[in-house]
């Protein structure tokens, strides 16, 4: 029989255990913030998530919630702290309503660990995979940011397998590697048991096999992937504050930059960012005349973000492609509206708890100047561009749309050869821009499409179907962010057909929450069977 020196957690007082767990959770929050804030440290997002989940996996702390929530909520508040420029309570308003998944994550982890008694390199991947799928589907804010696998985007060799398993599959594989490290911590803190040593060894072998296999696949695909030149686009980054009353100034700046910095006949399409004409374009003859003049002068249609009003007065965010008469020849309506700034949160409260609903609306109006009640799009509509005698279909995800793999797959399956991401998230700081950049890279690899990203404040760039950033827009002051500039380049497209993930991602992604559920149920059934067997085998006194 294997001996044990006992779990150190059993020798600790309750307050000592809690303080240690909270300390590790707060450390995880710091690590997550560093990973989200600094581009080269993206993989630390996964390390941070793992640290804040360690108290729910290591018996020394046995803390599925109170060891996790402090650090997670601190991280969520800090990452959204730039919202305080609108009102000091804006981050506090966002985090509790959108950060519910920080409670779900340790519950999924702890419950699976308890019922299966499985190693961390088994529990952590299934729990993180399930949580990352559930988060945007059931969350109050469709919160699909800061996903573990997505933040591997700076290492092209590690993300090529996303064309098979997607960004969510990358999360699961990365979590196996991280779980191997957690098993070592278990061995360190929970006692030296023979089975623990075997788990550490098996976890190390699995982690090594995953890294070698994924890297080998990445090297092969980077060498064999054939890229072709697509249409030539001109990305205009005005770096202007957006607002309905500021629209004349914003349009003037974009018009001047387009007129002076882009030669006539040099591009196949002009591109302005999201909210480039924030007031409804189709109701303004003035802005239609501006667009018409630019299109005629430059010999290329203009793609830009604007607003529209439905018959019931609800706003909608649009991407429009306009021709030389200023008429709309292609349109796309934003699919995912961000809570507070673009849509109401919990609208059903108005009839159930009107006082609470009114309080949320009042706070939202005080923080952002208005309580938006927008209407989202219902289909992934593509836009057609004629260039060099060829017809190109492309998708124009607006801002947060790029975080949703489902819509990108639909666009690629419908024939989109490239994506043009129009965005204006600069008001929320570099962390959001970093997240959006990572999301676009993974959408490119998952579907083998080129991506042109144009942000009002940056980062604007061209991303190849291999996930490599081929060209960044460097502004007049030499900066990628919060700077004005224009970038003219061809968007790359892939030579092959639909990827495995494009075809089957709708089945692969839901597999992870299903796998967590099946493993949990199986663990419960086995525990019940073992308990019954013990009762049957026990002598009756």
What is the tens place of the pLDDT at every residue in 419-436?
Answer: 999 999 876 666 778 888
Q: In what order do the strands lie in the sheet with 383-387?
A: 383-387, 390-395, 418-423, 450-455, 461-463, 469-472
Is residue 418 within a helix (H) or strand (E), and if so which, with residue range?
strand 418-423
Residues sharing a CB contact under 8 Å with residue 192, sequence separation 6 or more, in sequence order: 4, 5
Give 87-102 pLDDT, tens digit per residue.
777 777 777 666 777 7
The pLDDT, as a whole number, for residue 341 is: 75
Instruction: Give the integer Cα–Cα distance in Å for 162 and 158.
Output: 9
Q: Would you say 76 and 99 are in contact if contact means Cβ atoms under 8 Å apart? A: yes
- pLDDT band at residue 139 under the 50/70/90 scheme: low
- pLDDT band at residue 3 under the 50/70/90 scheme: very low
**How distant is the alpha carbon of residue 188 from its chain centre?**
34
Alpha-carbon Rg of the chain, whole angstroms? 25
Of the listed ranges 12-21, 206-215, 270-279, the one predicted with least confidence:
12-21
Closest C-alpha to 383, from 489, 290, 495, 302: 302
Which residues are bridge partners to 236 per DSSP?
486
Of the listed ranges 147-161, 212-226, 304-318, 446-460, the one predicted with least confidence:
304-318
* pLDDT for 279 beyond 70: yes
Give 380-409 pLDDT, tens digit per residue.
999 999 997 899 999 999 998 999 999 999
Q: 227-334+393-495: what CATH class?
A: alpha beta
- pLDDT band at residue 193 under the 50/70/90 scheme: low
The pLDDT, as a whole number, for residue 1 is: 35
Give 125-138 pLDDT, tens digit per residue.
999 999 999 888 76
pLDDT (mean) for 296-302? 97
């Amino acid at each position: 029989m294997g001996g044990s020196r006992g779990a150190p957690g059993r020798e600790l007082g309750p307050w000592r255990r809690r303080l240690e767990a909270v300390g590790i959770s707060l450390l995880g929050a710091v690590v997550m913030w560093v990973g989200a804030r600094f581009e080269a440290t993206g993989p630390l997002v996964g390390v941070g998530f793992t640290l804040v989940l360690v108290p729910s996996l290591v018996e020394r702390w046995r803390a599925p919630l109170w060891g996790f929530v402090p650090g997670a909520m601190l991280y969520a508040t800090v990452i959204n702290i730039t919202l305080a420029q609108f009102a000091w309570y804006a981050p506090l308003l966002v985090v509790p309503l959108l950060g519910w998944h920080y409670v779900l994550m340790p519950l999924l982890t702890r419950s699976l660990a308890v019922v299966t008694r499985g190693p961390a390199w088994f529990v952590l991947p299934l729990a993180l995979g399930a949580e990352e799928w559930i988060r945007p589907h059931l969350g109050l804010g469709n919160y699909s940011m800061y996903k573990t696998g997505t933040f591997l985007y700076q290492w092209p060799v590690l993300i090529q397998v996303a064309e098979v398993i997607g960004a969510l599959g990358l999360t699961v594989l990365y979590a196996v590697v991280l779980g191997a490290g957690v098993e070592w911590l278990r061995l360190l803190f929970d006692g030296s048991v023979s089975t623990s040593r075997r788990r550490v060894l098996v976890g190390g072998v699995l982690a090594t096999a995953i890294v070698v296999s994924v890297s080998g696949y990445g090297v092969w695909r980077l060498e064999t992937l054939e890229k072709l030149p697509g249409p030539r686009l001109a990305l205009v980054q005005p770096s202007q504050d957006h607002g309905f009353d500021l629209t004349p100034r914003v349009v003037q700046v974009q018009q001047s930059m387009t007129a002076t910095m882009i030669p006539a006949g040099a591009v196949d399409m002009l591109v302005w960012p999201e909210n480039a004409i924030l007031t409804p374009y189709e109701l303004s003859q003035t802005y239609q005349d501006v667009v018409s003049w630019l299109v005629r002068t430059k010999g290329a249609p203009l793609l830009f973000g604007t607003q529209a009003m439905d018959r019931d007065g609800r706003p909608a965010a649009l991407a429009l492609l306009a021709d030389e008469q200023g008429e709309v020849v292609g349109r796309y309506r934003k699919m995912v509206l961000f809570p507070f700034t673009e849509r109401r949160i919990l609208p059903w409260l108005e009839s159930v708890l009107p006082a609470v609903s009114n309080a949320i609306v009042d706070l939202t109006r005080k923080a952002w100047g208005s309580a938006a009640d927008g209407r989202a799009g219902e289909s992934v509509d593509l836009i057609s561009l004629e260039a060099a005698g060829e017809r190109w279909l492309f998708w124009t995800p607006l801002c947060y749309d790029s975080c949703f793999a489902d819509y990108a797959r639909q666009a690629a399956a419908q024939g989109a050869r490239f994506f043009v991401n129009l965005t204006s998230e600069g008001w929320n700081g570099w962390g959001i821009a970093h997240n959006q950049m990572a999301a676009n890279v993974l959408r490119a690899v998952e579907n083998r499409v080129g991506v042109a990203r144009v942000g009002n404040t940056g980062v604007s760039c061209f991303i190849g179907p291999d996930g490599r950033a081929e060209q960044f827009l460097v502004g007049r002051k030499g900066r990628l962010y919060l700077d004005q500039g224009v970038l003219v380049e061809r968007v790359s497209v892939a030579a092959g057909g639909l990827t495995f993930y494009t075809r089957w991602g709708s089945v692969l992604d839901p597999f992870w929450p299903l796998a967590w559920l099946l493993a949990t149920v199986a663990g419960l059934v086995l525990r019940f069977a073992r308990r019954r067997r013990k009762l049957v085998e026990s002598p009756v006194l």
